[in-house]
Structures are given as C-alpha cells and as structure tokens.
A and B are shown apart, each in its own frame.
Chain A
C-alpha cells in the first residue's frame, strides 16, 4: 500500500483511472434486517480480496430493526479504496429479498447497462429492467434445499454470493474460499455452487 504518493506516481494512477484499469466496482445489496445482507457484502469483499484485489464492505446503519429494508455496500478495486461516501451510482445491484422491490427503488442510480441480480422464485417482468443486465436465482429454495437456516429463517447470503460469481464480478473459486473462511462448512460451498449453476441471465 502506498501512503504518500508523489505527483508523478499519482498521475499514472490517474491515467489508469481514465483507461478503466483502476475502476472501482461498486455493489449495492438490498435485503431485510436479519437476512444476512451485511454478511453477503462482507463475503463478496473477502472473495475479491482473495483474488488479490482491494475491497471494502459496509452497511448503512440506522435505527435498525429486524425485517426492515436495509442496504449494504461492497467496493472492489485493484488499488486501495479511498472512497468512504455512500454508493450512489452502483455498477451492480443485488436484491436478496424480492419484496423489497415494492418498498424501495432498487435500481436508483444504477448505471445503464449495470448488473442486477434478483432472488426470486417467479419470472421477472423483464421490461421493467430493460436498461440493465438482469440475472435471477432462486436463492431461497437453494437455501431451504440445503437446510441453511439461522433461527428458523433461510440464510440467503451463501447462494447469493454464488450467483454473483456467475455475473463475472468475482470468481467462483474465490467465493468458495470466502465461504470456507467465514463459514467453514462444505454444505455452504455446495449451496453456492448450485446457485452459480442455477443463476441465469434474462
């Protein structure tokens, strides 16, 4: 990590930004309190980190309550990330709970052509999201099939992160590594792999 950057060095980094090589991928996750959105954001960041990238994970903390819509964030870059502000124009949006779509505008600020992942068991109205590259996965079913539960509720973060790998944001082997680091259980890895297979672009 470079702490004091000379004008020359920084200029070359700036060129890199222009060339797109120093891009920061910004991801926003929508979930409901208690579904593991923060953990999913962290898992993604760890996966990116295991790929040798720099990443940060955070969440918007408010007066939290179980079941309320929440957002979490992951930033991934080849360089140290110096942005601490909230993500306003994400490259990718992940909707862990489809009922959130009715409550908040999940695509707000999403860049045209940006990636959108929705956990759903039904078909999605593609017209509604025509500006974006939409993926779907039935993460809830996968979670229930693998009996991934915390306090009786299905854990969605593992299959969701598996599906994100399908979108090309992080590699599947990095996702595997992240899961094993955070929840060392082969069952979780298997669930993520199934989600990877099941996730499909509209």
Chain B
C-alpha cells in the first residue's frame, strides 16, 4: 500500500555509510552536545560512561550495510539497537515489520538487510501477525525467542491501533515498537494521528489543527507490564529500555521518537540534535511505566522536575515542516507543552501515568 518511498534512491547512497559509522556518530554527539551544554569535567565523565556502555553492547550487526535507509535515518538507529539489545538477552530474535519505511530499508527481493528471521506484515496488522507468531512459538514449546514487532506511527496510532490494543489486551509475550516520525513519511509525509500541532504535511498544507495522539498513554492504560518512550538521541537510555523490556514476560510497548530529516526538513546530519531538542524543549518526554509504576528517565527528569526547559521555538524553527508558523501558534504549542510537563510532574509524584 505505502511501500514505495520516493526517497529510495537517496537511500541507497547515504544510509550504509551512516549506519556503519553509527557508533562514532553517537559518541561524537555526546561529545558535542555535552560540551556545549555542560562544559569541561562533566562532559569528560559522560564520554567515559558512553565508551564503557558502548563496550558492553554486542558487536554483532543485524542491520547490514547496504540497507536502503535514507541518509540520517534515526529509525534505523532504533532498530539496530533493538536487535543488539535482543542479542544481549541471549535469546533469538524474530522480527516483524509493518508496512512502513523499515520494509523499504530491507532492500528489494532477493536481498534483505536484516540478519534475523523477518516477517513483513500488512499495514493494520503488525500486532496481530505478531500474536500469531507468538502463539506458534508457544505451540512449538519455544521459549528462547524475542518476538519484536516494528511499525511506524501510521501503522500504530492510526490504522493498527485496534490490532495493537487487541494484542496487548490478550497478553501475548512480545515487544511492540512504534517508531514515530510523526507522519506517513514513507509516502512523502502525509498527516498521521501522531503529527504534532501546526506541522505542515502534504495533507495539512497550512498546518495540522489537532494535537498529537498520545498512544503510549493509551497502551499504558491497558495495564501491560512495560511501556517506555525513547529517542535515538539518547542511545544508552534506548538500549537499556529495550533490554529491560525484553527481560519482562508479557506484552511490552516502546514508543521511539525518530526525527526524519527528509520529512521534517532539516539537514541530514542534525537527526540526533533534533531528538535532543525535542526532549530538551519538552516536546518529547522519556519515561517508563514498569508494572504500572511511572518513572521519568534521566534526560527528561531535569526538564520536567527542575524546569530546565528550552523554549519550543528553538525546536520548531529548526524544522522546515513548521515553516510559516505564526508567533501565536508557537505560543499555543508552548502553552500545551507547559501543561503537559505539569501533568507529567504530577504523574511523577503519584508514580502513575494515568
């Protein structure tokens, strides 16, 4: 349905180099942003911590070079680290990929860039196909497999939410990952339920009039054992949450904000920075809900609890998708963000998300 990305050619040139060099990219980002924001000693400590963490991440690659991701794709970082985290659990991985960019990234038959058994699914049914996979494994008596379903925001918050809700309600033992580039980016950026307020898409040329649907909260309301939000700009947080999720029995849900340089219209090299800005402005918050207990993650703690928050304008003005946004609109978004941060502050005090 939505498989053919207009960016596929672009993808072939840039992606492989980018993903191959990812470890270096991650370290240097920590370095750059760390120094800018905190200076001297602190940055050095972070660098050491980063290096130590990196050493513990399995070296095996399950996303191979030559994949067709666009240059600067942050979703690929999420997938790459998810598969490494799965490896770190000592179990095998069975990957399901919804109809989304990640299918395009596999490459074209007879090639595939994913070095784990992979089942591509139709748009609406990533979670229900995962249910079938999990049931089959159970029937075979196999308990040594992590079933990981990867789908975009369109396939999760819009067309696939029924299947997802059903699958987590039924309690299947699998991890569902929504990588959220806040639009149907695979088909040229049409509005999805996850598109933020005022973002220009090809189907909302004057800006989206509604706010983003909060799906992590909806899934958390299913009372499943683990829900988390992450962003590839914080790879340690991301990796550790994937690992933790995979150590828990039952349905798990991780929502990844993946800035998309092509659709959001920012320079290819700025994906990590954009994710950091999202978190630092409170446009995206990192947290986890483990067995119902809500906890902010370190990068968002100071934003939510200490009021150490950057103005949203910094984030909005850095992206072409918000071109032409008025000051009133910026103010409206800012107000909503403050309200949201207030809500999260209360959630932290109550240790409940909802």
Judged by CB atoms under 8 Å, the answer to whether A and B touch is no
